[in-house]
Amino acid sequence: MMDESTELSLTIAQIVQRLKGSHLHSQIERQAKECLHQPDIKLESLKEDVRSFLKTSGWERKLQNAVYRELHLPPSHPAAPPEHLKEPLAYMRKAQASWEKRVLKSLNSMSTELGVPLARMRPAVEQKELTNKWNEMGTDEPDLSRFRPVYAPKDFLEVLISLRNPNHDSSEDISARSHWGLIQVPLNVRDIPQLRQAYSELNLTTGQLGIDDHAHVHPGIHKKFKYALSYQDSAAAQQYSRQGCPTGLRAELWALILNSTNQPPDVMHYEQLKAGVIQHDLLVDNLIYKDVKLTASNDDYYFVFEDFLYQVLLCFSRDTAVLEHFKYNSATPPKSYIQGKVGEEECAVVYPPNVAPLCFLYNEPSKLYSVFREMYIRYFFRLHSISSSPSGIVSLCLQFERLLQTHLPQLFYHLRQIGAQPLRIAFKWMVRAFSGYLSTDQLLLLWDRILGYDSLEVVAVLAAAVFAFRAENLMEVTSLASAEAVLADLSTLKVMPLIQIFLFATAI
């Protein structure tokens, strides 16, 4: 076992190594060299003078924020094999690999059946056409009827339900209740007493944005955020967002928390991705197009952002920088090849992630893109891959079931008896972090807390709180269809009162 100081030294060395190749590192290096020509820099106090110069010119804070971002990535042990960093449990790795094979087989068979290559170079005429209509892609009405979704959430849920740890004897479980749920893997998830401790800032006596949002009611909260923004302090912004972000400051605060700077290199990176979309056509482009057409373009909140959604998701499907997160993701990036360029990798995203709500915050495509990418590689990828992470979809499903079994056992048993297992209803909410189910203002308040607590756990808590809120009606239902009808419309729900009451006003 390593002692704490050795572990800390290794963490520091890893962060230094990761930052060395960054744009920020070269900027700071250049600034440090330039400041050597300043008259107030003395040779005898060189180190202190350079540091003082970097501090007063704001570079020290930028470095702190970059280090803070790196600390949010999962730690890696130098002696551990790479697959352990991806996922420590062998049976989870095996299940993820098997799921990927199934998804890719579906993608490949669609390619063969339709005679559409996984990737191809666009002819010059097509490239010109796409360049001209880049900002109005939503006006296109191509025939996508031949393209089918690669998988539906319920297919993914069935895989999670079938998960078993071959080394675990379920007869050792303390309570027969553990067999009531659909998820049968032995992972540690927090119960309400532990959640109360972890989410203490959400208690009933602490002011929350999302319950009473007038500035004069919460002047302290607004003042804290102004401080975080004026000093560009990522850590402070994250801590304060646990009580919710003011609507007018949210865009800046989220970008600060995620250390998404949208500097010229970020804008240039986005433009390069756009060029990649224009040059190459991927089969998954059709799936992205169809997904946006079926969801966002029919949605009262998001249809106005249809063009933005195409731009961001098409660029995202080609972003090799996203490949970095596969080092600590149980998933493996799929490969497809441009015809005539075998060996050139493309990252195909077969489950378009949750970008639409961010369109409300950012009206610049490059800014929207960089914030979305950070949200995805920090949080949302965990909703679409099989892992043992406390923020992973398996843990969230297990936690949701445990919360209901422990605190609403009668409801849980009743729904189970009529063939309406709660997880079969709630899974679609959780796999999308409630995007498309809550009203946008409420969804953003939920995501404030995901960022604030650096965890998706609050998604499972809200799912359980929704069942608690509708418990009376649910006790009357007699079928899965009628249970789904009771929970069909979540657009009028207020997120924070539900979470607070469930966590802090439920008898233990």
**Tokens in use for 287?**
């799936």
**35-47 confidence digits (pLDDT tens):** 666 766 666 666 6
pLDDT confidence of 424, banded at 50, 70, 90? very high
Helix 457-469 crosses helix 422-431 at what angle (to 10 degrees)? Answer: 140
d(CA 247, CA 440): 12
Q: What is the pLDDT of residues 110-144, one digit of tens each?
A: 999 999 998 899 999 999 999 999 988 877 777 88
CA distances from 475 to 179, 397, 429, 468 (A): 21, 21, 21, 11
Helices (H) and strands (E) in the chain, counts: 24, 2
- Count of Cβ atoms closer than 10 Å to residue 448 Cβ: 27
The reported pLDDT for the residue numbered 345 is 38
User: What is the four-CA torsion angle of 196, 201, 207, 211, rounded to 10 degrees?
Assistant: -60
Cα-only R_g, the chain: 24
Which letter does DSSP use for residue 122 in this model? P
Average pLDDT over residues 92-109: 91
Give the percent of the chain with pLDDT over 90.
Answer: 43
Task: Say if residue 20's pLDDT is above 90.
Answer: no
* Span 143-201, pLDDT tens digits: 888 888 888 889 999 999 999 998 876 655 555 455 679 999 999 999 999 999 999 99
Spatial distance between the Cα atoms of 113 and 136, rounded to a whole number of angstroms: 30
Q: What are the domain boundaries of the chain?
A: 4-77, 89-158+261-383
Helices (H), 133-247: 153-161, 192-198, 219-230, 234-240
